[in-house]
Amino acid sequence: MKIFKFGGASVEDADGVKNLLNVVNKKADKNTIIVVSAMGKTTNALEKIVSNYFTNKNDLNLLITDLYEYHKRILENLFPEKHQIFNEINILFQKFKFFLDNNKSPNHSFVYDQIVVFGEIISTTIVNSFLVHNNINSNWLDARDCIKTDSNYRGGNVQWSETQKRIKEKIQDDKINVNLHYYICSHISGDIYLNEHEDSLWVSKNEFKNYNFAEGDSDIINLL
């Protein structure tokens, strides 16, 4: 089984989604999982919506409308005018507006988790529909049905035993191979602009121990 991960910058517009299709056509096989982040700066936009929900509700509708129009422009460059995806995305926006209109919880972290997740729900819904529209046998799988965590909002701890059980129920393949491709590069000049990350920091090798790296980064870190 192959697993492809597409970050937000790689699907920030219609051309990016079309490129994803090209990659799938060239590299994927029948047992392939595609993981897609929220499109472009959608996560940042949703975080701003959550912030304004608690501090300045007067701007909420404008922020939501701007985010909807951003995704609608992508749809207009991918699908024919009357494709069902337009209605599906409209319903998703209605769902998270309904939550904001009816939520009673003052817990910021709880609200954050209910809203920010819509970025990935929307992006994967669009990508899956585009693949199907282009004759790819694709099925949308909700990660929330696979990954089980505790109720520590914004810092949930994965319950690995239950998660593993759910994944095996959803994905009928015992052999999952994940290939991570690393790139060695150097900074010559100019400013660094972040597309996928919230922050960057220059540190020396002996300072690595002060930071928590993802498990998948351990091999390359040991080679430095």
Cβ–Cβ < 8 Å for 38, 119:
yes
The yes-or-no verdict on residue 175 having pLDDT over 60 is no
Per-residue pLDDT tens digits for 62-84: 999 999 999 999 999 999 999 99
What ranges in the chain are assigned the alpha helix state H? 14-27, 42-55, 60-76, 85-102, 108-116, 118-133, 160-170, 218-223
Q: What is the pLDDT of residue 132?
A: 95
Q: What pTM was estimated for this model as a whole?
A: 0.80
Structure tokens at 137: 């046998």
Per-residue pLDDT tens digits for 90-125: 999 999 999 999 999 999 999 999 999 999 999 999
Q: What's the mean per-residue pLDDT of the chain?
A: 88
For residue 33, give the H/E element and its range.
strand 32-36
Domains and CATH numbers, the chain: 2-170 (3.40.1160.10)
State how far the alpha carbon of 192 is from the alpha carbons of 36, 38, 83, 181, 213, in Å. 24, 21, 39, 21, 21
For residues 97, 102, 108 and 111, what is the CA-based torsion angle, rounded to 10 degrees?
A: -50
Residue with the larger pLDDT of the pair 210 and 218: 210
Cβ–Cβ < 8 Å for 120, 143:
yes
The yes-or-no verdict on residue 25 having pLDDT over 80 is yes
Q: What percent of the chain has pLDDT over 70?
A: 91
Q: Out of 39-48, 85-94, 127-136, 153-162, pick the least confident.
A: 153-162
Cβ–Cβ < 8 Å for 100, 67:
no
Residue with tokens 């937000």: 8
State how far the alpha carbon of 80 is from the alpha carbons of 83, 127, 160, in Å. 6, 15, 42
Q: What is the pLDDT of residue 179?
A: 55
